[in-house]
Structure formats: C-alpha cells, structure tokens
Amino acid sequence: MNNQLQKTMDKYPSRTGEQAQIMERKDPVVHQNPEQANGPLTEDEMKSFDKNGYLLFEKLFNDDEVAIMKNELNRTMEHNQKRDADDVIKEPQSNEIRSVFEIHKDSGFFEALAKNERIVKAAEQLLASQVYLTQSRINFKPGFKGKEFYWHSDFETWHVEDGMPDMRALSCSIVLTDNYEFNGPLMLIPGSQKWYVSCPGKTPDSNYKESLKKQETGVPDNDSMSWLVNKSGERIDRATGPAGSVLFFDCNTMHGSAGNISPYARSNVFFVYNSIENKLEEPFSGQAPRPEFLANRENIKPIIPNKDRLQSFANTSKTK
C-alpha cells in the first residue's frame, strides 16, 4: 500500500470490526467561501439543504431536454446490454442492467451534461469551491422487477473504500422518468446528514463486485436507523416529481429505495461532484482502492461549467 497518499487522519472510522456507533458530523453541510457565494441558489434553498440534506428542483430540465437525455440513456443501455464489463452492473438475479458507470467520459452527450452550468454552479455554491466528478452513472429500475437499494450513506463507502477524506461532496440525480410514490423513488431521512453511522463488520476484498448489486457491508444497523428516523421527527421523505427534476443530496444523507413492482420504469442520471479540495487518498480501510470507473483519481481537474445547449450534443457519445 502506498502510505504517502494517506495524508489525513481518519475522522470517520467505520467497518473497523467495532460495534455500530453514531457520531456527530465534523464538517459543515453547506460550506462557506465568499468567492463562491454568488451561485444560483437562494439563501432559503441553502438553508433548506443545510437542514434537510437535500434539495429537489422541479423540472430543471425541460421536456425537450428530457427526451434527448432518455434517448441517450437508451442508446447507452442498448450498447452495454451485451457488454460483459465491470462497469455494467446487472440485477442480482437476472441479466437486466441496473447501472452503467463512468458515463461522463463518453466524449459526448453525458460529458457535456456533467458540465452543465445549471447543476455545476449549484454544486460549487454548496461545496464552496470548484468541483470535479468522482463518480457518474445511469441507473435503471425496470417496472415489475427493479430491486431495492438498502439504506446507506454514500460517504461511508467513499470514505472507507475510496479514501474520500471529508464530507464535502454531493450527488446530483437527474430524474428521467416521472417519479411516483410507487415506482421505487429515492427515500431520504431529513437531517441524517448531520450524523455519521460507523458501521459494524469489515470490508470484504473486492466488495464492490457485490455491493453495487446488493449492498450488505457499510449499511447501518437497525438501532442506528431507528435513531435517525426518530431524530428526524419520524420523517422519511421521497424524491417524487416529474421527469426533468433534479435532486441534490449531501454525501452523508441516509437514503435508499424500495423495489419497483409497478409497471413503470424509473431511470436517472447520477453525477457525484466532489470539492477539488477533497481529492481521494488511500482508502481508509487500508485495502486496495476501487477501480477508476467507480472512483476517479486520474487526471483530476476542476470542471469549467458550460452553457452549451444539450441539443447540440445529441448522438455524439462514443459509448464504450
């Protein structure tokens, strides 16, 4: 292991073989930097993100843009249907695609979308710095058979398995299908981002090969989950809304989703923006880092936000 990479002490130990434990978050949720203060979000929106750990913008992308995104998503899915590769994740018991990772390196549509100023400037404002992408993917939850994602904090995995030192990252989920209560929308615990659940157990080697289908390590124990829900005033929120809506959520917000037994598929594009001041180090588990397609380390540069019309990038993806 290359210890030179490990510059930072472990502020958030987890999966160290100890019992589950809840500790206070040690980083701000909304970061402050006067130079980054002038973003698109209002003061109230920033306050709401700070309090709840997420923000939903209805129809940040219009119907024409959603149609293009859906087309690109279908193209990528079709292209990857027969590709047997680590970055194409199938459902646990079928050949159905669940996620395709690292879509922002397609030299085309998704790369342009990832740099779109509507989302990047919001991420910059919340994280108070320039940002880069640490992970991206499309998620597809087919009707009738899309399986659940158990409760988890993304940060717990990114810290332990990828060496993300601080809580200074967020996810941006662009909803491409209408999300209802009944087609397995993301569920979030408001306020949970202020607490860190140190999880029991140890990380199996190459855990990602299983965890992306069904996460079993790095998930909270039942008592911690009940504590968090109780602390939120018994609230569990659902990210429902029309296609084109965008959900931003903090890297430590506890979230999960139920299976989709409705006839309606649910798909989204997922970008994870990390502060350029919070680059990945050696995993805090002491194990080998996960592959590049899950946790970007190579050639990291801040994103320059663009205003480009998405239309001009249709059909440009160089799919893998």
Residues in contact with Fe ion by CB under 5 A are 154
Minimum CB–partner distance for residue 32 and ligand 6CS (Å)? 26
* 66 or 169: CB nearest ligand 6CS: 169
* 152 or 305: CB nearest Fe ion: 152
Q: Is 17 left (phi over 0), alpha (psi -120 to 50) or beta?
A: left
Pairing type for strands 246-250 and 54-57 reads antiparallel
* 264 or 270: CB nearest ligand 6CS: 270
Partner from ligand 6CS, Fe ion, none contacting 15, C-beta within 5 to 8 A by type: none
Q: In what order do the strands lie in the sheet with 149-152?
A: 149-152, 255-257, 186-188, 237-238
* 134 or 317: CB nearest ligand 6CS: 134
Q: Which residue is nearest to Fe ion (CB)?
A: 154
Under the rule (CB under 6 A), what is the footprint of ligand 6CS?
A: 135, 149, 152, 154, 157, 211-212, 215, 294
Minimum CB–partner distance for residue 101 and ligand 6CS (Å)? 9
Minimum CB–partner distance for residue 139 and Fe ion (Å)? 10
Q: In what order do the strands lie in the sheet with 97-101?
A: 54-57, 246-250, 169-175, 266-275, 131-141, 97-101, 88-90
Partner from ligand 6CS, Fe ion, none contacting 212, C-beta within 5 to 8 A by type: ligand 6CS
Partner from ligand 6CS, Fe ion, none contacting 211, C-beta within 5 to 8 A by type: ligand 6CS
Q: Of 144, 163, 160, nearest to 152 (Cα)?
A: 160
Partner from Fe ion, ligand 6CS, none contacting 160, C-beta within 5 to 8 A by type: none
On whether the CB atoms of residues 303 and 120 are closer than 8 A, the answer is yes
Minimum CB–partner distance for residue 154 and Fe ion (Å)? 4
Q: Of 169, 160, 153, nearest to 220 (Cα)?
A: 153
* 199 or 294: CB nearest ligand 6CS: 294
Q: Of 296, 256, 254, nearest to 272 (Cα)?
A: 296
Look at the block and give the residue holding tokens 């429902």: 240
Judge residue 122's burial from the number of C-beta atoms within 10 Å of its C-beta, 0-12 exposed, 13-18 middle, 19 or more buried: buried
